[in-house]
A and B are shown apart, each in its own frame.
Chain A
Amino acid sequence: MSGAVRRALLEGSEAIVEAAVGAGCRFFAGYPMTPFTELLEHFSRRLPEVGGVCMNAESELEAVGMAWGAVAAGARAATGSTGQGLSLMEEALSEITLAELPLVTFLMARGQQDYHQATRGLGHGDTRHVVLAPVDVHEAVAHTRSAFEIADAWRHPVMIYGDYLLAHTRESVTLPTEPAVVPDRPWAVDGTLGGTGRSRLISPLGFAKAGQHSPGIEAHQRAIAAKQERIAAAEARADVGACDDAETIVVAYGTPARFVRAAVAELRRGGHRIGWFRPVTLWPFPGDALADAAGRARRVLCFELSAGQLVDDVRLAVLGAAPVVPIGGISTDSSGFGVGRLLDTEVVATRILAAHRDEPLPPLPDSGGLP
């Protein structure tokens, strides 16, 4: 990180909001839902202080609509929710992608069961969002600024995939204090061109104003698909550790990757040749990097807090070069919002070791029923 910085001890939600404000975000709309709520609370406090607007939207449908309008009008804007709330937003998120609007979305997921939702385009049509999955609060701050930059560079939506742990963990973080450079947006509607014959139209349909070139739906959708291929080639990022001599590679993303990293370090100390691979972008998935790492391994393990979603992308990347073994599973606390007993370095290490030795996995730990 270059330039002026300030250090602060912040909860993940607050750090993300500070990073967003620092990135020039001046509009946010959201609807409370655990563990996304704190993000909304911090935005509602911070944005008015910098001349921005935070809308307490009456529903997720309206939150995403408001953010759509704000981005179209030229603001750096964001919205977000949990996976449940994003389900309600999906129709609009697909159309926003087709309208080429650089919206940033914060998915503060209740665990990792929203991987398919996040990476398979969030809705209908041939659309994908860039998805960044920070491992900790420090990286969430960096990702938040990049999210706005990537969105602007491609005129394409970008999502941050966070979770309960990220939202609620306090860490010492470094925040850039230099103001973000917000590029010109000549395409944005500001109302000034009415009656000139050159007024603007922001449409997901590939239509233009009468007299201007209108690609039509098919050509427009093909152009978006081609842009997504260019994004996929340019933006895939991964974080890799101890894979060079590894017989076993453990793939994990987001905050659980921290536990995997710790477990692998522990097992390494015990002399086991195990490495870890963390997709930093979930879409585009860093498949080439994983294939490269997996080329020398005997097996690839996949740890995720779901019944098996990330594992699809892992299998597609490894393409049979090594067996892929899912070692995660569904694990939540009794509320369903938080972290279950599976997310424990010792438990994770036990499962990695069992799979490393081609032994059966121990049963998933139960987190208990209602309190």
Chain B
Amino acid sequence: MTGTSPPADVRRIGVAVPELLLTGAHHMCPGCGEPLAVRGFLEAIQALGVARRTIAVAGIGCYTSFSMTTDVDLVQALHGRAPSVATGIKRVRPDALVYTLQGDGDMVNEGLQEVLHTAARGERITCILLNNGVFGETGGHMTATTVPGQRTKNTLEGRDPTVHGHPILIGDLIARLDGAAYVARGSVHTPGAVARTTRMFRRAFETQLSGSGFSFVEVVTMCPTGWFVPTLDGPTYLHDTLGAVHVMGELKVDGRVRSTEELRAENARAEADAARRLAAGGLDEVP
């Protein structure tokens, strides 16, 4: 049901539900960041005009509910195992655009070796990580990307590196592998970050289609349920905790690895720029 209807003399600049979703309805919690990333990569596929040669592989996590509603051919894999399944698909169908969708528990805990080997092999696929630093589906437990101090159901006083170890910065790790051609870490805590992440998806897919190697997009997403914060505090919590450790930016472009300092400086400029453009009335390059 539409609550308001548009006046006549207007042009539509964005559809509500991404065209590559069979339905916009989903079972994600209010304020969840994962659907924003899903919109981003589906719109990037649409913009590149490759929906009819795309094959997806999904891991197991909250986002798995999109396996049923994403309108591209899809193989449902096991927890942790999507990159090797995608490898088999790509080697059999080299002309397809093949992407995987995994969470941090799936990729960085259960299946860490898979994504590293796949990247090192320079497999011409795109791996997408939705990183919220928590097992959302089981109710908020520590993962390998949980940041120091972050409270989870099994680190009630916050992750203590002396007891629970340090988080893995998976994007940085992958960027250092020769087979990885494009590595980026996006975020969905502001509209500007969502738009930037969508551009990262597009570049990652273009990298795959050009045949130059493995591409990787990590997206830091809100999980208000697993973080035990009100939905409205999700973006700020993301920015101040996970975002401070898993720093947003393009970590590797054209074979050049970029430092965290470089990314922080770029982010400060980008945030100022987005704020200025939004105040001026719009993000014109929004897909």
Residues of A within 8 A of B (CB): 26-27, 29, 53, 55, 57-59, 61-75, 77, 91-92, 95, 99, 189-197, 199-205, 207-211, 214
Contacts and interface: CB of A to CB of B under 8 A. Distances in A.
Given A68-B77, A189-B75, A199-B74, A74 B55 contact: no
A192 B53 contact: yes
Given A75-B92, A207-B67, A210-B23, A99 B76 contact: yes
Nearest to B50: A194
A192 B68 CA distance: 17
Contact of A58 (B71, B96, B113): B113
Contacts of A91: 78
The residue in B52, B69, B90 that gathers the most chain A C-beta atoms within 10 A of its C-beta is: B52
Interface in B67-110: 67-78, 81, 83-93, 96-97
Contacts of B84: 57, 61-66, 68-69
Nearest to A95: B78
B52 to A, nearest CB: 5
B219 to A, nearest CB: 21
5 contacts: A55-B91, A191-B54, A191-B96, A201-B68, A210-B68
A203 B76 contact: yes
A209 B69 contact: yes
Nearest to A63: B84
B71 A209 contact: yes
Given A27-B88, A70-B91, A210 B69 contact: yes
B54 A210 contact: no
B115 to A, nearest CB: 11
A194 B42 CA distance: 11
Contacts of B53: 191-192, 194
B75 A69 contact: yes
A39 to B, nearest CB: 18
A197 B114 contact: no
Contacts of A65: 77-78, 81, 83-85, 87-88, 114
Contacts of B180: none
Given A99-B76, A195-B20, A208-B68, A73 B88 contact: yes
Given A26-B92, A203-B76, 5 more contacts: A65-B78, A73-B92, A190-B96, A195-B46, A207-B68
A66 B71 contact: no
Nearest to B121: A58
A68 B88 contact: yes
B91 A66 contact: yes
B55 A195 contact: no
Contact of A195 (B72, B90, B96, B117): B72
A75 B71 CA distance: 23
Contacts of B170: none
A92 B113 contact: no
A191 B93 contact: yes
A191 B55 contact: yes
Nearest to A67: B88
Given A202-B76, A210-B68, A191 B91 contact: no
Interface in B249-269: none
B57 to A, nearest CB: 7
A162 B78 CA distance: 28
A204 B68 CA distance: 13
B91 A197 contact: no
Contacts of B87: 55, 62, 65-66, 69
9 closest A-B pairs by CB: A69-B88, A65-B84, A194-B51, A194-B72, A203-B76, A70-B88, A195-B51, A189-B73, A66-B88
A209 B68 contact: yes
Contacts of B47: none
B22 interface: yes
Contacts of B178: none
A301 B84 CA distance: 45
Contact of A62 (B51, B52, B71, B117): B117
A52 B45 CA distance: 29
A64 B75 CA distance: 14
Contacts of A196: 52, 71
